[in-house]
Amino acid sequence: MSAFFTVAIVHLLGVASPGPDFAVIVQKSLSQPRTVVVWTALGIGLGILVHVAYSLLGIGLIISRSIVLFSMIKLLGAAYLIFIGWRALRATPAHSSDDAVSAVAEAMPAWEAFRVGFLCNVLNPKATLFFLALFTQVIDPGTPAAVQLFYGLYMSIATFLWFSMLGSVLTMRRIRMWVDSIHVWAERAMGAVLIVLGVKVALSARN
C-alpha cells in the first residue's frame, strides 16, 4: 500500500501540473459542450495506457536513449500542439444569438475530441520521460507485472476523472455565462498557450 500511495501522489502531482493535457482541456472547455470535454479527457486517460505499455515492455528506455526516436516523438508532439493552438487562434464569434443552440451545432464529434486528447497525451515527450522515471525509479523493478499494470490502470482512470472534473467545473453554467462574454479572446489566448507549449517542447532537451 505504501508503494501504491507513492505512485498515486507522484501521479497526482504530475497530472495536476499545467502542461499540454491541461491546456487542451481548458481550451475545449471554453468552446465545447461538457460531453466533448469528457471525451477529450477519456482520450487523455487512455493515452496513459500507451506510456504504461511501452514502459512495461522496456521500449520506453529504448526511446529515451535513442536521439532519433525521441526527437521524432518530440517534433510530432510539438507540431500537434501548434496545430491545435493555430486552430484555436482562428476562433470566431458564434453567429447564432442562442448560445446553447450554437454550442450544440458546433460541437466537435466525440471521436475527434477523443483523438485530440489521445494524441496530445501520447505525443507528449515529457510524458514519456515521466513514465519511464516512474517505472524505473519510483516503482520497484521487482514488482510483479500484474501489480505494475494495476498501477497503470489506476493512473489512466485517475487521469480521466481529474480532467473530467476540471472540464465539468469549467463548463458550469455560471462560469460559462462569464466565459461566453470573452469566449473568442479566451480561446485565442489558450491557442497561443498551446503554440508556446509546442515550441517549448520542440526546443526542449531530453533532460
Tens of pLDDT, residues 48-76: 999 988 888 876 566 666 677 667 767 77
Tens of pLDDT, residues 170-199: 888 777 666 655 556 666 776 777 677 678
Tens of pLDDT, residues 101-134: 344 446 789 999 999 999 989 988 778 778 877 7
* Run of H or E residues at 12: helix 2-16
Q: Whole-model pTM above 0.95?
A: no
Q: Give dist(CA 118, CA 49) in Å, integer.
A: 10
In the chain, where are the structural domains located?
2-7+24-203
Q: Give dist(CA 48, CA 61) in Å, integer.
A: 16
Q: Give dist(CA 74, CA 89) in Å, integer.
A: 22
